[in-house]
Structure 1
Amino acid sequence: MVNIQQLDPNASPLDYYGWELRRQREAHTLTQQQLGDVIFCTGSLVGQIETARKLPTREFSERVDAALGTGGTFSRLIGLVLRSRLPSWFQPYADLEARATYISAFQTQVVYGLLQTPEYARAMLAIDHADEIEELLAARLERQRILERSEPPALWVVMSEAALLQEVSSREVMREQLAHLLAFRDNPWVHIQVLPFSAGEHTGLMGSFNILRFDDDPDIFYVESYDQGHMTANPSVIKERSVGYARLQATALSPEDSAALITRVMEERYGDPS
């Protein structure tokens, strides 16, 4: 068992979270069990989080803040903790994504990460990371919180029709995923277009990519391979890919026609067989 006195708060965001939780709890003269009783969990769970052996959740963090009157300390820390659980090569992009004011994404095969349902995301993550799926899922869902901010980024997603037809996990999961996409129809900051197979050859056939735009920083082009990501602010690349993205938008179905196609696929391909 980790000795809390030897836990280095500088080792990682998770270690710091555990160290600070222990410090705040003791400052309120509460045992682990007493704190657990207040926030509706076991004292054992509190101890595991204090010793960095268990990943805290956002709900746990919010309850701790309310119980200890810490002014949102742990609700802020949890974002850092969850982001640190992302693959190291992906973290720089996630940091920029969280600061972007405009996100343009093109997806060739799957639903864009910020728009995935928990069960769809779980199935995707389980392909190569079954041993750490819960941590990665929590981190992905944390990324999606940028769409819930009072001033969220503008998100424009163009996805191939293949993303609708590629069954992930089960018919039920896909039905829920497509319904989730349709739920964004009235969101003024999220626009979804489907690029139909009938479009033929197009500039996105080389693969998925994202373009991030900022208020005061250069635009970023991002593309990833199997186990790494590549980012560049090279003006010539940004210009070329921005034009390419505009062509994809022009070729894709309108948001309204895209919603109609998503609805049709959801009902005809993934509808209740009974």
Structure 2
Amino acid sequence: MANVQNLDPTASPLDYYGWELRRHREAAGMSQGQLGEVIFCTGSLIGQIETTRRVPTRDFSERVDAALGTDGLFSRLVGLVLRSQLPTWFQPYAEMEAKATYISTYQAQLVYGLLQTEEYARAVLSVDCHTDLDRMLAARMERQRILQRDQPPALWVVLSEAALLLEIGSPDVMRRQLTHLLSFRQNPWVQIQVLPFSTGQHTGMMGTFTLLRFDDDPDLFYADGYAQGHMTADPSVIKERSVGYARLQASALSPEDSARLITRLMEERYAPPHSTEERSVA
């Protein structure tokens, strides 16, 4: 078993978190088991986090702060820890996404990460991620906190109809994901449009992309790739993709019609089996 005293607290945010957790716990004169009892978890979990074998959650961090009187230290650290669990190539984008004041994205196959439910995200990540699934999931959920800020970014999402029809996880998972999308109808900072198949050829056929705008920095264009991503501030790319995105918005259903389509798919494609039976009997 690793000895946290031999860990280098400068090696990573996770190492630093574990090192600080043990330091503050011992300063409070508590064993791992005693701290676990106070925050309603096992002493084993405390030990695993102190030795970087488990990644802390935000809830865990808040309870530790309350138990040890650390004035929000671990609640602040956990954000750095969770972001560090993202793939190295994706971290620069995640950092810029968190700073953006306006995000406009076209999604060709999947619901945008900031709008995914936890179970939908787990199903998506489980395809290629096995050993670090919980870490990756926690990091994705942490990204969504930017929508809960007092001044969140304005988010405009154009979803291909394919993203609604591609069954991720199960019909139940999809129904709850679509319900989650509909929950943003009253959010003034989030707009969702569906690009129907009937549109035919369109300016997003090369795949998913995102445009980030900032108060004081140049706009950024980001495109997903396999095991890598491409991000640029090239003005010619920004101009071309901004025009392309405006055309996607013009071709897509209105937010109101998009919500009606999402609702219809929930009822017709992802309805619980008993609901279908009840309708047929009626």
Q: Normalising by the residue count of structure 1, what TM-score does the alignment of the two structures yield?
A: 0.99
**Counterparts of 1:111 and 1:227, CA distance in 2:** 19
CA-to-aligned-CA distance 1:14-59 (integer Å, 9 cap, x gap): 0000000011111111111111111111111111111111111111
Q: For 1:193-223, what per-residue CA distance to the aligned partner results, in whole angstroms no more than 9, with x for missing partners? A: 0001111110001100000011100000000
- Identify the residue that residue 138 of structure 2 maps to in structure 1: 138
State how far apart, in whole Å, the 2-side matches of 1:106 and 1:5 are. Answer: 47
SS at match of 2:230: strand
More displaced 10-residue stretch of structure 1: 233-242 or 21-30: 21-30
Residue 11 of structure 1 aligns to a residue in which SS? coil
| 1:226 is the counterpart of 2:245 | no
Task: State the match for 1:182 in structure 2.
Answer: 182
In the alignment, structure 2 segments of 5+ residues that lack a partner are 275-282
In terms of mean alpha carbon deviation, does 29-38 or 151-160 score higher? 29-38
Question: 1:4 and 1:230 mapped to 2: Cα distance?
Answer: 37
Q: Distance in 2 between matches of 1:272 and 1:147?
A: 30
SS in 2 for 1:130: coil
Instruction: Tell me if 1:244 matches 2:244.
Output: yes
2:134 counterpart SS class = helix
Aligned residue identity for 1:256: E
How far apart are 1:4 and its partner, in Å?
2.1
Unaligned runs of 5+ residues in structure 1 are none
Q: Which residue of 2 aligns with 1:74?
A: 74
1:80-114 deviations in Å (ceiling 9; x for gaps): 11111111100000010111111001001111111
Q: Distance in 2 between matches of 1:209 and 1:261?
A: 23
Which residue number in structure 2 is paired with residue 65 of structure 1? Answer: 65
Moved beyond 2 Å, runs of 4+: none
Paired with 2:112 and 2:53, the residues of 1 have a C-alpha distance of 31
Find the counterpart in structure 1 of residue 20 from structure 2. 20
TM-score (norm 2): 0.96
- Are 1:192 and 2:216 an aligned pair? no
d(CA) in 1 for partners of 2:64, 2:18: 12
Look up the equivalent residue of 1:53 and give its one-letter code. R
User: Secondary structure in 1 aligned to 2:257?
Assistant: helix
1:52 aligns to what?
52
**SS in structure 1 opposite 2:231?**
strand
Shift of 1:224: 1.4
AA aligned opposite 1:170: S
Amino acid at match of 1:189: W
Output the CA distance in 1 between the equivalents of 2:167 and 2:45.
36
1:28 partner letter: A
Partner SS for 1:205: coil
Identity of aligned residues (%): 73
Q: Structure 1, residues 152-181: CA drift from partner, whole Å, max 9, x if none?
A: 110000010111111111111110010000
